[in-house]
Amino acid sequence: MCRQLPGRIAGCDTPGKPGSRLGGVSEWDIADIPDQSGRTFIVTGANGGLGEVTARALAGAGARVIMACRNEVKARAVADSIGERAQVRRLDLADLDSVREFADAVGPADVLINNAGVMALPLTHTAQGFEMQFGTNHLGHFALTGLLLDKISDRIVTVSSGAHLIGRINLADPNWEHRRYNRWQAYGQAKLANLMFARELQRRLTLHGSDKLSVSAHPGYAATDLMFHTDSLVHLIMPLGNRILAQSAEMGALPSLYAATADVEPGGFYGPNRLGGMRGHPGPSGSSAASKDEVTARRLWDLSEQLTKVTYNFG
């Protein structure tokens, strides 16, 4: 299908032009973002890394961008460099009170991009006592999306990761209270939860006759500062990996931008199209069998509503 977007029909480019998906590998790039004038995007974690690139690209395409960030000082510096199309609102996804305050204060928007996240932290907890990675990456965005659903007119994009492949959803102990904590397995669980949430949200939107979209994306192996906040040996060896394998944050943000602005499949998952999904331009991405488990996804949804005390209203 070709979904009409402002300025042109996205995803229906002619053969041979950048962004063409006919007869070969997609080379979709920032230049292929349709005109976004008159549209509003909410981007979480837009004060650096992939979120900053996403905010800059959307504003460059004419959109109004609401940068939802915990670090307001850093975010305002980025917003000032972007210009009048960017504004900052405080949002701490590790505190559900902050999530509710943000959702109550923000106005309507066309697209919500659930981008913010933490990676491979030592065992710490959110304001409500959830394991930090599960609580921030999944529960914070689950609550935010539910509270904003009536205000979002077009689509919700949730950023997952290739690390979902190592993830397992432990419904009996999602917050690692009764088992030995492993920071990477916890990160994998959180990123798997992101992907399962995006797909389950689409199933529920479709069931209720909504034309809103829920899609997900992953950046592949992108060189950002996220990996330098793990408080582990990883941040010592990552510079070598970045030089050998990683692509730029600008390339890593392309799947999110594609998912947010192009013609996409409902419930689709998008990521880089080369080197096993680690590098390249955006295209459809494969995922684990666990990510397609609809029974666990429904149970995760119920658990998430119970933990966050946010119940979705599909109208």
Q: What is the pLDDT of residues 112-124, one digit of tens each?
A: 999 999 999 999 9
- Amino acid identity of 95? D
Looking at the domain assignment, is residue 24 inside a domain?
A: no
Enter the DSSP assignment of 221.
Answer: S
Confidence class for position 246, pLDDT limits 50, 70, 90? low
Q: Catalytic annotation on 258? A: no
Structure tokens at 117: 């996240």
Is 18 domain-assigned?
A: no
Residue 23 falls inside a structural domain: no
Residue percentage of the chain with pLDDT more than 70:
81
Q: 162-166, 177-181, 218-222: which range is least confident on average?
A: 218-222
CA distances from 175 to 60, 130, 138, 253 (A): 40, 6, 12, 29
d(CA 50, CA 249): 6
Q: How many domains does the chain have?
A: 1
Residue 225 has pLDDT above 90, yes or no: no
Residue 149 is classified by DSSP as: G
Burial of 234 (0-12, 13-18, 19+ CB in 10 A): middle
Helix, strand, coil distribution of the chain in percent, nearest 5? 45, 15, 40
CATH code (residue 118): 3.40.50.720
Whether 147 maps to a domain, the answer reads: yes
Tens-place pLDDT, residues 281-303: 899 999 999 999 999 999 999 99
pLDDT tops 80 at residue 62: yes
pLDDT in tens, 127-143: 999 999 999 999 999 99
pLDDT digits (tens, 9 = 90+) for 20-32: 443 334 699 999 9
Q: Give the active site residue among 187, 258, 270, 312.
A: 187
Q: Residue 255: inside a domain, yes or no?
A: yes
Q: Residue with structure tokens 């690390």?
A: 163
pLDDT tens-digit readout, 178-219: 999 999 999 999 999 999 999 999 999 999 999 999 999 999
Containing structural domain, residue 181: 32-307
Is there a domain that residue 146 lies in? yes
The predicted structure's pLDDT at residue 273: 83
Identify the bridge partners of residue 161 per DSSP, sorted by sequence position. Answer: none
**Pick the residue with more confidence: 220 or 157?**
157
Q: Is residue 76 domain-resident?
A: yes
Q: What is the mean pLDDT of the chain?
A: 87
Q: Which residue has the tokens 């063409």?
A: 20
**Is residue 12 very low, low, confident or very high in pLDDT (cuts 50, 70, 90)?**
very low
Q: What is the pLDDT of residue 6?
A: 38
Question: What per-residue confidence (pLDDT) applies to 251?
Answer: 87
Band of pLDDT at residue 264, cut at 50, 70 and 90: very high
54 lies in some domain: yes
Task: Quote the pLDDT of residue 250.
Answer: 86
Query: How confident is the model at residue 21, as a pLDDT?
Result: 41
